[in-house]
Amino acid sequence: MNTNPTAVTLIGVPLEEGSGRRGAAMGPTALRIAGIDRMLTDLGHSVVDSGDLHPAPAADLPDHPKAHHLKIVGAFTRDLEARVHDVAAAGGFPLILGGDHALSMGSVSGMARHAAAVGRPLFVLWLDAHADFNSPETSPSGNIHGMPVAFFCGEAEFADILPANRPFVDPRNVYQVGIRSVDPHERDEIHEHGVNVFDMRAIDEQGVAAIISNILATVANANGLLHVSFDVDFLDPDVAPGVGTTVPGGATYREAHLVMEMLSDSGLVSSLDLVELNPFLDDRGKSARVLVELTASLFGRRIFDRPTRAA
């Protein structure tokens, strides 16, 4: 990506049923009001807003006692998987405006299908307070927004949402940064499957720059595609209060910008989720504006150009 012009397609996903509370469905509208399309255009990128997905509930999916609202979450997953795949296959950059984190079941699966088609591994950078590696059997709540990582890694096959032979993401290619809330069974699953977890203590001890630098080097050495999934609760609640799953002790404003700036410098990012924004819980649009500012850093906004070191 870097500062080169990118063909960005905005995909609104007004999904809130995965979270167990109302409000996240307003996230795509809030991000548009905060000017995400105008910001990208001002940075020189071409932008197509494809509007919001509005699928009917998937009648062929069963009700599930431990996976709430499966029919509507499954319908969004199918539609988003197809939309993201088609945008990426056409050379575009899918930018998904959420919506709760269950939407990543569709976005990451779509990118996994594209990556398999072009013969490159898919890596996922999961910026979140939560690991989201539950399955219906391990989830204490039954809310599907706590299950997407297990789903796209092939470890939460709780219904025929997508084809059984679809490409999965290797759990060892998932890098979770900012984690500070993990369920007991989830912790065991993460260790068993080799997910790479950098909790807030790791950030405190190592620094976010070293962690992200090592992740990017791994992706580059593998010639991989990189999907970034950014949950509002990655940030400390003082920075972004507009989320239904606040966990104290999150990333600072500058740490988050540094992550995005390093991602931009790398040129490796091929798709992005912005999830769990709940405008009903926000403070006069503060969190939406922060997300737009962070996205600007990912797409090349700089205060000063960094000087080139002489050879």
Catalytic residue numbers read 101, 128, 130, 132, 145, 231, 233, 276
Q: Give the pair of three-digit tokens for residue 75.
A: 């319908």
Residue 41's alpha-carbon distances to 262, 299, 300, 301, in angstroms, are 21, 10, 12, 12
Write out the DSSP string of 88-112.
Answer: HHTT-EEEEEES-GGGHHHHHHHHH
Q: Which amino acid is at 46?
A: S
Cβ-Cβ contacts under 8 Å for 221 (sequence gap 6 or more):
none
Q: Give the pair of three-digit tokens for residue 139.
A: 């989830």
Residues paired with residue 7 on neighbouring β-strands, in sequence order = 46
Q: Give the pair of three-digit tokens for residue 252.
A: 């600072």
Is cis: bond before 35, omega within 30 of 0? no
- Yes or no: say if 107 and 79 are a contact pair by the CB < 8 Å rule: no
Phi/psi region, residue 139 (left: phi>0; alpha: psi -120 to 50; beta: rest), is beta
Neighbours of 5 (CB within 10 A): 11
Q: Which amino acid is at 183?
A: D
Three-state DSSP class for residue 35: coil
In degrees, to the nearest 5, what angle opens at C-alpha 60 toward C-alphas 50 and 148? 60
- Yes or no: say if 182 and 195 are a contact pair by the CB < 8 Å rule: no
- Cα–Cα distance measured from residue 295 to residue 169, given in angstroms and rounded to the nearest whole number: 24
